[in-house]
Structure 1
Amino acid sequence: MFETALPVGSAFGVKHAFEADHLAAIATLVEDGNRSASTGAAWGVGHSIPILVLCVSFLSLDVQIPSTVTAGFEALVAVSSWR
């Protein structure tokens, strides 16, 4: 399962990173051309660390999320991404 989840999750993460809200936020943060690379790196690390900590915790503790909870989260994502 992990072999499938990692590439699929990464693909969705890359897609999400290039959505308009993220691009607008990054454009605003990097208006000062002297620090654009460090700001972009900090943004990426700041978004990645909580996800990695949560994933490693779930995998190491062998946490099984009930299917009703995952279905609920998937429904929330569907509603929030519907345009």
Structure 2
Amino acid sequence: MRSTEWAFANLIGLSTTLGFHLHNILRTTEERLAQLMAELLTVVRGIASFAQILGLVIKSTEVIVSFCSAVYNAPIELRRIKEKLLNL
């Protein structure tokens, strides 16, 4: 085999090996990127779930405060109603 043929054969072998390694690197990078995106989506879903729970807690607190206020003010309201009825 002449040196030119030998060099060309080595170049083809090297480019094939390099292409194989580059393909593996890209595939690994794509897998890592996909995993990172999945983890990011998980974090976003967790934040959204936390926001929903926080919203429900705030609404529940508002309802409880409103109910307690109504119970606290009930005797006053009943007295006003009684006075209005007596004035009629």
Is the structural similarity TM-score above 0.5?
no
Larger Rg: 2
Higher RCO (CA 8 Å, separation ≥ 6 residues):
1
Q: TM-score range by the shorter chain?
A: 0.3 to 0.5
Normalized against structure 1, the TM-score is what?
A: 0.32
Structure with the higher helix share, 1 or 2: 2
